[in-house]
């Protein structure tokens, strides 16, 4: 079974530029997450999709971040314009909920963003 | 306010010993708790899940305990090996399928 794919793996941009990240979840996984992980911290949820609908985007800085999930499969996360504090690893994860109502997430390798 | 606390300092142990990592939380009522492993430059990998009505779970050399009264989970790796060196993340599963991650504890196992 193929895992969660993300691209690019690394990106360096200057502040005020825009950037986009792509994620392809595990086939059949209805739930998709984008997390931001700053060095030394745990993953922080930015947005959660169930199929192509948004379940939780309460921590997404909507003035600069946007995300969409095309046809309930692939997803893109965009930052426009980027700030220095956006330097982090952006992780995509997917999951399929089991009957026990638990949610085990499978993560991609992440995209390391550096904003100069 | 809601908090998840994991040992902020790195844990250094000798190969063959048991590593014990702690996860404490406040102002949450998790339905379950998970432990993930994260290696440098990679995404977290799921290890174990324990539900609120379970006291202990085991998987090979791993053992997790969950005390909802103390609001604490302990994660044990027995007969530790250098390959166990990584960051271990505690994650709470709350109502509504929301998962909250702790900051993680770095474990170093010396040969």
Give the residues of chain A that fall short of pLDDT 70. 1, 98-100
Residue B96 in this model has a pLDDT that exceeds 70: no
Phi-psi region of A52 (alpha: psi -120 to 50; beta: other; left: phi over 0): alpha
DSSP characters over A70-112: GGGS-EEEEESS--GGG-EEEEEEEE---TT----EEE---EE
Contacts of B106 in chain A (CB under 8 A): none
CB pairs under 8 A between A and B: 54
Enumerate the H helices of B1-111 as residue ranges: none
Please write the tens of the pLDDT for every residue from A53-86: 999 999 999 999 999 998 889 999 999 999 999 9
Q: Are strands A53-56 and A65-69 parallel, antiparallel or unpaired?
A: unpaired
Contacts of B4 in chain A (CB under 8 A): 42
User: What pLDDT sits at residue A52?
Assistant: 85
Look at B99 and A41 and tell me if their CB atoms are within 8 Å: no
Please write the tens of the pLDDT for every residue from B99-109: 899 999 999 99
Q: Which of A42, A56, A106 sits opposite B98 (nearest CB)?
A: A56
Contact in structure between A92 and A4 (CB atoms under 8 Å): yes
* Eight-class DSSP state of B82: G
Look at B41 and A109 and tell me if their CB atoms are within 8 Å: yes
Contact in structure between B53 and B30 (CB atoms under 8 Å): no
Look at B97 and A40 and tell me if their CB atoms are within 8 Å: no
């Amino acid at each position: 079974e193929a895992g969660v794919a993300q691209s690019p793996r690394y990106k360096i941009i200057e502040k005020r530029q825009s950037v986009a990240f792509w994620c392809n979840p595990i086939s059949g996984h209805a739930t998709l997450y984008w997390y931001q992980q700053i060095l030394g911290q745990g993953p922080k949820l930015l947005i959660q999709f169930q199929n192509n609908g948004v379940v939780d985007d309460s921590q997404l800085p909507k003035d600069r971040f946007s995300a969409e999930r095309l046809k309930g499969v692939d997803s893109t996360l965009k930052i426009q314009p980027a700030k220095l504090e956006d330097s982090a690893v952006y992780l995509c994860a997917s999951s399929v909920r089991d009957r026990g109502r638990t949610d085990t997430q499978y993560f991609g390798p992440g995209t390391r963003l550096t904003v100069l | 306010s809601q908090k998840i606390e994991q040992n902020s300092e790195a844990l250094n142990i000798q190969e063959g010993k048991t590593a014990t990592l702690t996860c404490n939380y406040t102002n949450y009522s998790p339905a379950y708790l998970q432990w993930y492993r994260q290696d440098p430059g990679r995404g977290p990998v799921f290890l174990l899940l324990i539900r609120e009505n379970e006291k202990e779970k085991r998987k090979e050399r791993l053992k997790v305990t969950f005390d909802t009264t103390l609001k604490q989970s302990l994660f044990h790796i027995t007969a530790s090996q250098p390959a166990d060196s990584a960051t271990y993340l505690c994650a709470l599963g709350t109502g509504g399928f929301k998962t909250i991650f702790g900051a993680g504890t770095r474990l170093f196992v010396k040969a």
